[in-house]
Amino acid sequence: MKISKVDDAAIQALQQYQKVDKVQNESNQKVGGNAAPEEKVNLSAKARDIQQLKNAVNQLPDVRDDKVHELKDQVDKGAYSVNGQKIAEKMVTESLLDIFA
């Protein structure tokens, strides 16, 4: 039994594979050259919607001047009243949400 023939066949197959791989690499380099690979980012429809909403929110003013002037006028006239019960309920509700969240 000649083991060398098996080794020769394995070596030949390996060499053939290396030749094919080398040719493929060379052809890829010729086609692509030294240019950097192109990078693409595909956003889902949901991501685009979120981006549009974020841009819309960023365009809104930080302070609602009309609301501020309305409240200032009410305070100046003495017409602004605070409902302590509603404030307490909101505080308790927010505290409970923070605890259970």
Q: What is the mean pLDDT of residues 64-91?
A: 93
pLDDT of residue 2: 47
Task: Please report, to the nearest 10 degrees, the dihedral formed by the alpha carbons of residues 81, 86, 90, 92 taken in order.
Answer: 120
Q: What is the mean pLDDT of residues 65-94?
A: 94
What are the residues whose beta carbons fall under 8 Å from the beta carbon of 71, sequence distance 6 or more?
A: 80
pLDDT at 11 over 80: no
Residues in the chain: 101
Position 10 confidence tier, pLDDT thresholds 50, 70, 90: low
Tokens (6 digits) for 61: 């003013």
pLDDT at 12 over 90: no
Q: Are 36 and 44 in contact (CB under 8 A)?
A: no
Position 45 confidence tier, pLDDT thresholds 50, 70, 90: confident
What are the residues whose beta carbons fall under 8 Å from the beta carbon of 79, sequence distance 6 or more?
A: none
Better pLDDT: 15 or 81? 81
pLDDT at 1 over 50: no
